[in-house]
Amino acid sequence: MQFRDFKREKEKWITFVESSYYPDYLDAARREYTPFLERFNELLKKAASSQELLDLIMSEQGSRNRIQLLRIFRRYVSPDTSVEMLKVKQKTNKVITEFGSKFRSIEQVRRHFRVQDDVLICLLHEYEDRGTKGYEVSARFFDWFKHSFGKDGFTIEGPTGAGGDIYLTEVFSDYPRPRPTDFIIKYRGTLAVVGFIRYDSDRGGAQEDDRTGGYRDVVTEILSYSESKGMSINILFVNEGPGLTLGSMWEDYSNLEEIGKGHVLVVTLKMLESRLTKEWLLK
């Protein structure tokens, strides 16, 4: 069966990674994030300007501390500047030069800021929660794969929690671009599969088109490289979540399988037993 053949009953083939109910998680979130609000308040009192506040945050020890403080900074000081843009230390001066004029003044920030802010605490909690569902899917998949194929000469590499991607330039020195992947599978030391894992709680519109459109480019790129080198690299997409059933997502992933001509496989966790076989891994 192809991924497309599951479309009629697609809701039965996805797995929900459950979220906590509001306000059940609020007490725990307060304990987790209030220290970051308190530290932000200390730096806020110390800084002479919003630009200096950013400098102070970037001087904090520990990447997680800085990220949480930057998320608070973005909400209060510069909502149009992404955390991704802010978090690179070497770019701090550039951000201040290019966007500092749009920062809210330090006086206004002090006027509005509150340490006991349950709304902001919930927002910080939701930032953290977004990634954990993908980690859960990764952990379940890795456990299943090792149990199912670990004795057959297969190994799987990649982070199952927060961690860096595997770049194909690290695997092949002549790969044409630094293509990030979520995992790779090797058979007796030789690369057999490049993999991507996603959990979509929601999906639609431009985001939906960007995701699958980008994956079409990935499939074309990897398979072209594989063919040019006389190799047989397969591409595995492990997708989960209710967002997979929305809009054109199921159809788009079905098309990916078809353009892959047998070298692309899309599965949910519930499809692993029936669809991910040794024969396909070694195709």
> Model confidence over 127-169: pLDDT tens digits?
877 778 889 999 999 999 999 999 999 999 998 877 789 999 9
Q: How many domains does the chain have?
A: 2
Query: Does 139 share its domain with 277?
Result: yes
Query: Does 262 share its domain with 136?
Result: yes
Query: Does 114 share its domain with 80?
Result: yes
Which of 126, 156, 173 lies at the terminal end of a domain, its last residue? 126
Q: 253-280: b or e for each residue (b if 16 or more CB lie within 10 Å)?
A: bbbbbeebeebbbbbbbebbeebbeeee
- pLDDT score recorded for residue 206: 44
Domain that holds residue 39: 26-126
Higher pLDDT, 49 or 18: 49
Query: Does 141 share its domain with 277?
Result: yes
What predicted TM-score, i.e. pTM, was given to this entire model?
0.82
Quickly state the pLDDT bin for 203 (edges 50, 70, 90): low
Residue that the structure tokens 């794969």 belong to? 145
Query: Does 146 share its domain with 217?
Result: yes
Which of 95, 126, 157 lies at the terminal end of a domain, its last residue? 126
- pLDDT score recorded for residue 212: 62
Per-residue pLDDT tens digits for 33-42: 999 999 999 9
Query: Does 106 share its domain with 137?
Result: no
For the chain, give the percent of residues with pLDDT over 70: 96
Query: Does 270 share its domain with 181?
Result: yes
User: Which residues, other chains included, contact 40 with Cβ-Cβ below 8 Å and sequence gap of 6+?
Assistant: 57, 69, 72, 73, 113
Report helix, strand or coil for 24: coil
| Structural domain includes residue 21 | no
- pLDDT score recorded for residue 205: 44
Residue 3 · residue 254 · CB < 8 Å: yes
Query: Does 111 share its domain with 136?
Result: no
Which of 110, 126, 142 lies at the terminal end of a domain, its last residue? 126
User: Which residues, other chains included, contact 281 with Cβ-Cβ below 8 Å and sequence gap of 6+?
Assistant: 149, 154, 185, 187, 192, 193, 234
Query: Does 277 share its domain with 138?
Result: yes
> 70-79, 193-202, 268-277: lowest mean pLDDT where?
193-202
Per-residue pLDDT tens digits for 9-37: 999 999 998 888 999 999 999 999 999 99
| Structural domain includes residue 60 | yes
Query: Does 137 share its domain with 222?
Result: yes
- pLDDT score recorded for residue 78: 93
